[in-house]
Amino acid sequence: MNPNWITAVRFPLALLAFYCLIIDGTKIALAFAIAIMALAEISDIMDGRVARRYGKVSKVGKVLDPIADSFYHLAVFVAFVIAGWMWWSFLIIFILRDLISYVFRLISYIKSAELGARRSGKLKAIFQGTAQISTVVLYLIAPESHIAQSICFLLLGSAIVMTVISGADYLHQAYKVLRPAPHWFWVALHEQ
């Protein structure tokens, strides 16, 4: 099995989840959204495991996986904003973090440097996935509850915090990987 196909499944799942979340807010639509979101999260876990287990780690997979993750998570967050479950400012933070990481990955690729996956990025995905599924579950079982809405806000807030930490970690790693070598390095290299 090609792990890139497992990754690619997240694109249509993102669109289906988005549709189920904005269609009409019925319990059936939200239940379908939860099932679709669970499948998307499982595909995110499985693609990397399959790639590593069967020796099919590829450059395409290293590029496709974070794009699929972002597309899926951002589609769900956009649906949350449309549904009135999340503030626009949260969405902007999620988008900015992903754009920053893609820009620096692209620059590192152009400069033949490696700016691979970071542990903080994995944690960000876990926080975002947990917050997303939990939010939909809470709106499914207690749509009018102020306590449930407060819990959703806290979950989404924790995802924001982890997203900012992950973005800072990517910026720090990009600086370390992409900064030019210090002058003394070039002098010492030239003297040899």
Domain segments of the chain as ranges? 3-180
Q: pLDDT tens digits, the chain, 192 residues: what are they?
A: 789 999 999 999 999 999 999 998 789 999 999 999 999 999 999 998 999 899 998 888 888 898 999 999 999 999 999 999 999 999 999 999 999 888 888 877 777 777 777 889 899 999 999 999 999 999 999 988 999 999 999 999 999 999 999 999 988 888 887 776 566 555 565 665
Residue 6 makes CB contacts below 8 A (sequence gap 6+) with 43, 46, 47, 50
Q: Tokens 């933070």: give the residue.
A: 93
Neighbours of 70 (CB within 10 A): 21
Sign of the Cα torsion 39, 159, 164, 166 reads: negative
Exposed, middle or buried, 3 (CB in 10 Å: 0-12/13-18/19+)? buried
What top-level class would CATH report for the domain 3-180? mainly alpha
Question: What's the burial of 186, exposed, middle or buried (CB within 10 Å: 0-12/13-18/19+)?
Answer: exposed
Entry pTM: 0.89
Its sign, for the CA torsion 137, 142, 143, 146, is negative
